[in-house]
Chain A
Amino acid sequence: MSDNDILIFPYSKVVGHSDLKRALEIAYIADTRLGGVLVSGHRGTGKSTIVRAFTRMMYDDLPITLPINATEDRVVGGWQIENLMEGSFEKQTGLLQDANGKILYIDEVNLLDDHIVNIILDTAATGILTVQRQGLDISEKTRFTLVGTMNPEEGHLRPQLRDRFGLMAHIMTQSDQRAKILQRVLAFDKAVYTNGEESDFLQDANSKNNETKAKLETAREEFQNITMDVDVAQGCVDLATAFEVIGHRADYYLALAAQAQAARKGADEVSLEHLRDVAPLVLTHRRENQNERWLVEDNQRVADLLDVGANRMANLSTRVVAQA
């Protein structure tokens, strides 16, 4: 059985979790520039399912996965042991190299050995994987989108690692969505039961996945062509200042994420509305109290700071349409 034969719950059938979907899509459009997405949610909320589903949809494959049982040689690379035993040297790439230009997924990222965390931090900070061990001398560029899922009940993430994730999404299962989730998971069970053969559920899902994939690929191509007005850039600065964020990346990440959101929405120019949409994803884990949840009041505060009143937004929208 190959990796592609393993049936994964389809992305288009995921119920709710719009924040996480938006974060993953924006990170894809920005193409590794945003660092990654941290997903925090309690047990059984479908964090891993969504990440796997998204990667299967976008890359036709499972994500490059760094499991919590990984040893150092598999993370940074090493020698192929069978060849070594025969007396010949042949390098084996590590997961950090394999993930170049793709998603590097860490399930239960807060359970990762701190030694492995240090390696990831070093690589993510410089964009260069440096290995000097067992006679290996490697120094090569590697950039990946780090996606980590965690259950906050099992501990927090070191601030340095947390800061590497450009976006963060808290997810929880809404009680009014449970019926629909049950219905879809049970329908997927049935597709698995028949090994995916003649499944209307999967056919429908694949068709919608293809639509989404095409739109995201177009958005990624257009990402560099999106322009940003100075008042939106000022909005990034205002938000970062007002929320007293830790570190120096929040304003940059706000700008990048807003640009990706504009591409995702098919706009030519970044609007304050796009910035407003991405603000929770960028700011929530950079506030001084990192365990604080993003509340409705925070949304209102963002809107007030950006002065995203009806008039201004209407004017902006009109301008975007006119330019288009």
Chain B
Amino acid sequence: MGEVVPDSFWQGLAAAALEPGLRQILLFDADSLTLKTAVSSLQQLLTLTTKQKIQVAHLGGLAQEDDLWGSHIPSATDSTTGLSVIWKDGLLTRNWNDDDWLLVVIPDLTRLSLAASRACITLMDAPVAHLERHDHTSIWQPRICWLAACPQDKVGQVSPHLLDRFALRLPTPQLRPIPSTTAILAWLEELKTSADLPTTTIDLPDKWRKKVTVKYSLPRLSPKAIQRVLAYSDGLTHPGVRRELAVARLGRAVARLARDEVVSSHHIDEAAILIGLSLPQSKIKLDETEPQKPEPEPLESETEPQTDMTFDDEESVSDTSVSSESSNVIESDDSETFPISSPLPTDPYPEDKAPIDRELFTLQLPLRRQQAFSIEHGAIIGTQPADSLQDLALIPTFLEAALYQKVRRRSHPDKVNQFILSSTDLRRHRRIPQPEKMLLLLLDYTSLRDCEWQQALIPHLRWAYVNRASITIIQVGSDRHEEDELRAQKVVARSLLTPRIGEALEAQPGRATPLAHGLEMAYQVVQKAQEHGRSHIQETRFIIITDGRGNVPLAASVSGQIKMPVNREGIEDALQTARHFQDMKRLRTFLLDPQPQYHAELPISLAEMLGADHQEIPLIPEVRI
């Protein structure tokens, strides 16, 4: 089954095959067909340009460090000891000792495991890699091409540090399978011997095969081309030069594919179009005054003027203009014309504008800490020495013990046929700690105006931070969801450090106050957190800040339609719902009273219904006066 692959996509992949600095490719919103097509195409292109075998490895959400870097595994039984272990290279180190290249495919960057993310940071765009694990030490030059897919609307979940490593961002083509009767019949024939679905292979068009195999010297960038590269990042505030380098290298690849000896500003423009990069507005205006036809451009000098390596502290690097001392002018090949920058089809760097949807410091390993409860919860991220039998990692324990069997049996001749285990062999799983405490915060934004609620909240936020509690905020009457103002909204985060918690706290008051719905939602959250048998939440602290003046009946929140007049229905519904919390265990409730000028009794009544500690929030000084 074939697909229509647009030429621009071929060009992008061919550029990556030619330029090692572009072999970190990110495709936004690529479906499985597109990704498989890209893998197949890239594998063929890389085979041609590297002249080596290309191994393909898939990196997912479960990979742990030993899987990635290598580990000891059991081998065939040793006749004298009864067992043996051997070293097995990991997914990312399997080609460290040969000439093969590795094509690492990441089907969903947002689901990459912590260990894999850290490995990517270490290996991507690195001239040298180091392995220092389990008695093994290696230094090698990574030969890896990275190809990842990422849903664009979830890019805020990924560390920008990791995203920055992806030099080449290619707009994802919409591939359409071409129906083929021959392919169907061939597949049916194959099914007689194999139950596998047809593999997605695509034949590399001759045109691209020729383009990447022509032996050609590396084109030089003209000074104008370098200035053009810089023009694309003018006014942007990203750190480092990776993006500029990516555009420059892509421009160089474009020139190579066109068999040009000099990279001109037009090659750079074509490169920018390939990744969907547009000039800043200020540069577009200037650009309109420039000629559209490629002009011969002077070359940069091969050995640009150097600063003296004296020990002067301020190296004279103020020379920002690119050296143009060489007067060599090579006529560029005009047989192909290059389009000038076109309107932006996509944004290659959506992470710059995406809302942050991840915790702070996502690449750090969680602290090793002792937990009183539920140590078996949390995803496994590795192993560590154990001093108890709890949550033992059996295979790593066995493998550790296996190393010492010969030595131990020599000391214990009476146990020559036994497997001798020592307490130092014990290994237990290392897991991402699960929160054992939860802070549930119901914020009625329509009641906060006159009181110092942030100050009143600080002790509870501190409690959440110190206890590494998960956070749920029930937003009642915020301006963030005006289209659904009859309902409360919920914001959930693993910890207080998640940026969206800060955003939730900064919301402004809206018009409606669906307090009853907010309490109902809070009730469901607590119930779920305390679910028998599966829960790891040992304690919940429920904080409510409201003046008790709900003006949306529960029925209206459920149906999404309100019948006027409301009268006290919203208030009564809230009081009734609050009653459910009285009998809940492992729950401590605080009602922080904003001391409303009218109906000051409502918060007190609500606190009684909840069985909550009632605390008054100080009014801001102006209101007090």
Cα A15 to Cα B314 with chains together (Å) = 11
Whether the Cβ atoms of B313 and A22 lie closer than 8 Å is yes
> Which A residues lie within 8 Å of B302 (CB)?
187, 200-201
> Which segment of B8-16, B136-144, B459-467, B515-523 sits at the interface?
B136-144
A37-86 residues at the B interface, CB under 8 angstroms: 41-46, 48-49, 52, 62, 65-71, 73-75, 78-82, 84-86
Give, as a whole number of angstroms, the nearest-CB distance from B305 to chain A: 10
Asked if A314 CB lies within 8 Å of chain B CBs, one says no
Say which residue of A25, A75, A200, A264 sits within 8 Å of B303 (CB atoms). A200
Asked if A179 CB lies within 8 Å of chain B CBs, one says yes
Whether the Cβ atoms of A85 and B406 lie closer than 8 Å is yes
Asked if A186 CB lies within 8 Å of chain B CBs, one says yes
Whether the Cβ atoms of B239 and A43 lie closer than 8 Å is yes
Say which residue of A74, A134, A181 sits within 8 Å of B424 (CB atoms). A134
Q: A69-B69, A69-B131, A177-B317 are in contact. Are A42 and B304 (CB under 8 A)?
A: no
Q: A69-B69, A154-B161 are in contact. Are A187 and B304 (CB under 8 A)?
A: yes
Q: A113-B365, A176-B320 are in contact. Are A201 and B303 (CB under 8 A)?
A: yes
Q: A85-B84, A182-B248, A204-B303 are in contact. Are A43 and B229 (CB under 8 A)?
A: no
Q: A69-B119, A179-B321, A190-B218 are in contact. Are A43 and B242 (CB under 8 A)?
A: yes
Give, as a whole number of angstroms, the nearest-CB distance from A320 to chain B: 15
> Which segment of A1-9, A245-253, A297-305 sits at the interface?
A1-9
Cα A151 to Cα B242 with chains together (Å) = 15
Cα A201 to Cα B305 with chains together (Å) = 11
Cα A124 to Cα B127 with chains together (Å) = 28
> Which A residues lie within 8 Å of B137 (CB)?
74
Cα A189 to Cα B230 with chains together (Å) = 18
Asked if B309 CB lies within 8 Å of chain A CBs, one says yes
Asked if B245 CB lies within 8 Å of chain A CBs, one says yes
Query: 1/0 per residue A136-179: CB within 8 Å of B?
Result: 00000000000000010111000000000000000011101111
Interface residues on A, range: 35 or more
> Which A residues lie within 8 Å of B220 (CB)?
190
Whether the Cβ atoms of B65 and A69 lie closer than 8 Å is yes
Q: A179-B321, A182-B226 are in contact. Are A87 and B132 (CB under 8 A)?
A: no
Say which residue of A8, A16, A87, A133 sits within 8 Å of B407 (CB atoms). A87
> Which B residues lie within 8 Å of A183 (CB)?
221, 226, 300, 304, 322-323
A sample of 19 more A-B contacts (CB under 8 A), given A180-B319, A190-B220, is A13-B306, A16-B315, A45-B239, A62-B139, A69-B118, A74-B134, A84-B403, A84-B404, A84-B406, A95-B132, A111-B363, A155-B360, A178-B320, A179-B227, A182-B229, A182-B241, A185-B241, A193-B218, A200-B302
Could you give 29 example pairs across A and B, Cβ below 8 Å? A25-B311, A48-B126, A62-B128, A67-B129, A67-B131, A69-B68, A69-B122, A69-B133, A71-B132, A75-B132, A79-B135, A82-B135, A84-B404, A85-B85, A89-B407, A92-B135, A95-B132, A108-B122, A111-B118, A111-B365, A114-B368, A153-B161, A154-B361, A177-B317, A178-B230, A179-B230, A182-B221, A186-B249, A204-B306
